[in-house]
Structure formats: C-alpha cells, structure tokens
Amino acid sequence: MKNLKIFVVSDSVGETGEQVVKAAVSQFRPDFDNTIIRRFPHIENNDHIEKIVEIAKVQDAIIVFTLVEEKKRRLLIDYCHQQNVSYIDLLGPIIELFEEKLEQKALEEAGIVHKLDEDYFKKIEAVEFAVKYDDGRDPRGLLLADVVLIGVSRTSKTPLSQYLAHKRYKVANVPLVPEINPPEELFLVNPKKCFGLVISPEKLNIIRKERLIALGLSDDASYAKKSRIEQEIANFYKIVEQIGCTVIDVTNKAVEETANDIIEKIEQNK
C-alpha cells in the first residue's frame, strides 16, 4: 500500500482541516493504514510557511491548509508551486465567494469559530448552574456564583437568574422566608455581588393572588394576604441590612431592565 502523508497547516488550531482530511482519507483507508496526518497550527509568519513547504517537498507530503489571511494563502500557494508540492486550499475559495456575494472583505481573524464555541459552552455552563442553585436548593452554590439574588417569593428571582445565565453569569438565588433562617453561606458572600429584589406590597399581593388562582387554589390564602407580605418584606430588609447588599425595586421593571442594572453594577465592581 502506498504511503500517504498530509500536512494540515492553519493559523488557528487546525482542527477543521484535520477533520476534513480524515473524512476524505477514510474513503480510501478506513483504518488509516500507511497514512500520516501532521498538524501545523498557529502559523504566524512567512518563515514558518516556507519551512513547512520545504519539509513537505522532502517528505513527499500533500499540504492541506486553512488560512484566513489572503496574503498567507497566496504565499503558501506560491511556495508550493516553486517546490512542486501538491496542496489544497480549504477556506480560500469559500471566503472569496462570500466576499463577492456579500460585497465586503473578510475579517481575516484566526480562530473566531473557536471563540464562538467557547462562548456557547460558557453560556450552557451558566444556565446549568442557575438551574442547580435555583431557589436555595444548595447553599454551597452561593460561594461559587458570580451573582446572588435574594428576595421574597414572586420577585422574579428565577427568570432573572436564567436571563443573566444567558449573559454568561453564574447565578444562585435564595428565597427569604421569616420562619426559616437564611443559609450561613449567604453572609459569607461578597456584598458587591449580592442583590436584594424588592417589590411593592400592593403589586406582590396581585401577583400572588393570580398565582394561587393559576394553581386552582383560593386567592384568600395567607400567602397572598397583605399582612403576610408586609411581614416578609420587613424580614427581607432586616437580612439585606445584615449583608449590606444592593437593593433593587422590581415593582415596575421588566426582567431585562433589572438584569441590565445588575450587570452594570457587577462590571463596575470588577
């Protein structure tokens, strides 16, 4: 069986080029027998390109490259022609076609797709964190969170946690109830990343009544009574004062507005 050697050249990590090469090689050699695939990532200067072509010439290798910068692509092609080395440009034709169609130049910035992937996984991680540490389920999350939300029931802690998670912030939230002491971890949290959510008793009364009706329950339960709500809010302010955290009134605010206020303060404190 004839030997096959491929050099994968990239100004990023070279993963895209290697996967394409493997897909093609597998059509001829499913077990990759007598096949060598060598990756040359993060190519930054012309000397690297010239040396790779020289090595490919000596070792009778094919060069497959994914270079986003036009000058590097043209230089590599020129060297390959001079040394009579076989090559395949994977990105160049597609980029040129898109430039023509869109009537704009490519950014020519290496590794953008991997930055997007990293950003995506950070978002997923934050969303999973928000679910795991929602509603005070595990107080250990309070010390791991980027943002900690506290408040009485129905102050939008959960939807706000999810919204912030999609902005890549790890959020834990804790409901405050007069009969239950807050977890000890809450008082160890940096006050600058802790936010208390408060709402007017009148608005909360309406929200809780609607919630009870939606659950098929009577709207005159203690949960929705003004006296109970006032007791909970008084307890809320008592705990907030102990922590020394920022209080945000969410009475007439959309989740997005509250989230933007929190993000602004978090970024200012960094």
Binding site for ADP, residues? Answer: 151-158
Gap between the Cα atoms of 77 and 51, Å rounded:
13
Binding positions are 151-158
CB 141 within 8 A of CB 132: yes
- DSSP calls for 178-207: TTSPPPGGGGGS-GGGEEEEE--HHHHHHH
Angstrom CA distances, 147 to 110, 143, 144, stand at 33, 10, 9
Phi, psi dihedrals of residue 107, rounded to the nearest 5°: -65, -30
Phi, psi dihedrals of residue 105, rounded to the nearest 5°: -80, 150
- Which residue in the block uniquely carries the two structure tokens 């949960």? 223
User: What is the three-class DSSP state of 111?
Assistant: coil
Residue type, 67: L
Helical segments of the chain, H only: 15-25, 46-59, 70-83, 92-102, 112-132, 157-165, 201-214, 226-243, 255-269
Gap between the Cα atoms of 44 and 260, Å rounded:
39
- Which residue in the block uniquely carries the two structure tokens 């990590």? 13
For strand 4-10 and strand 194-198, is the pairing parallel, antiparallel, or unpaired?
unpaired
Which among 61, 23, 67, 59 has a CA at the least distance from the CA of 41? 67
